[in-house]
Chains A and B, each alone.
Chain A
Amino acid sequence: AQTVTQSQPEMSVQEAETVTLSCTYDTSESNYYLFWYKQPPSRQMILVIRQEAYKQQNATENRFSVNFQKAAKSFSLKISDSQLGDTAMYFCAFMRDSGGSNYKLTFGKGTLLTVNP
């Protein structure tokens, strides 16, 4: 079974600074996808970024980038130039790509990020 671990329950950062959220996962699969989702106080789950395990290049979406270390099973999220609107709960998630019918999506416990003015 796949597990996703986020070891930082809470983090804070000053506006305009950079912050990195950690995520590790455990799997025996070789093909899979990793995601970061953001949940602001509105509780809507919003996709931030996606990484395919077969790609060596780290995904980037504007101010958001990941550091994907496949051998270490690590998938951290870096937020540059933090903005007040980045305040949210951030979830790391894993989806296997077995090629069959089981694409179970598993989440970590989340990291609550607060951006301070």
Chain B
Amino acid sequence: DAGVIQSPRHEVTEMGQEVTLRCKPISGHNSLFWYRQTMMRGLELLIYFNNNVPIDDSGMPEDRFSAKMPNASFSTLKIQPSEPRDSAVYFCASSFPPSLAFFGQGTRLTVV
């Protein structure tokens, strides 16, 4: 298996633009996590899906953020409109709980 695949690896966008981050979990994993990592706040859990259903989205910062998981092999995290304070590394992870979670390489987002 290729592991958790995230795209793009790097994204630079202008403030106000829509940004879509993508994640393909490991086949057979039924839990998917989106995290945001910054120097100031560390690793923050944004949203967690189980069997494609959002279980906990309490970490989503505001309405500008939305996440979907239309099927077991794909998830998106969308920011609209983007702001400079959204600049961070965004990680996707998947697991077959309660086993360990595997992480993607992350997407480094820069909003200018």
Contact = CB atoms under 8 A, between A and B. Distances in A.
The listed residue with most A CB atoms (<10 A of its CB), out of B55, B101, B106, is B101
Interface residues of B, number: 24
A11 B103 CA distance: 25
B103 A103 contact: no
B103 A104 contact: no
B105 A44 contact: yes
A105 B56 contact: no
Nearest to A49: B100
B95 A105 contact: yes
Nearest to B53: A101
Interface residues of A, number: 22
B97 A103 contact: yes
Interface stretch (A15-23, A75-83, A106-114): A106-114
Contacts of A101: 50-51, 53, 55
Contacts, number: 60
A16 to B, nearest CB: 29
Contacts of B93: 45, 105
A86 interface: no
A96 B43 CA distance: 18
Nearest to B44: A107
Nearest to B56: A104
Interface in A63-117: 91, 95-97, 101-110
Given A50-B100, A102-B50, A107-B43, A43 B56 contact: no
Interface of B: 31, 33, 35, 42-43, 45, 48, 50-51, 53, 55-56, 89, 91, 93, 95, 97-98, 100-103, 105-106
Interface of A: 33, 35, 37, 43-45, 47, 50, 91, 95-97, 101-110
7 contacts: A35-B101, A44-B106, A95-B101, A101-B50, A103-B98, A104-B56, A106-B45
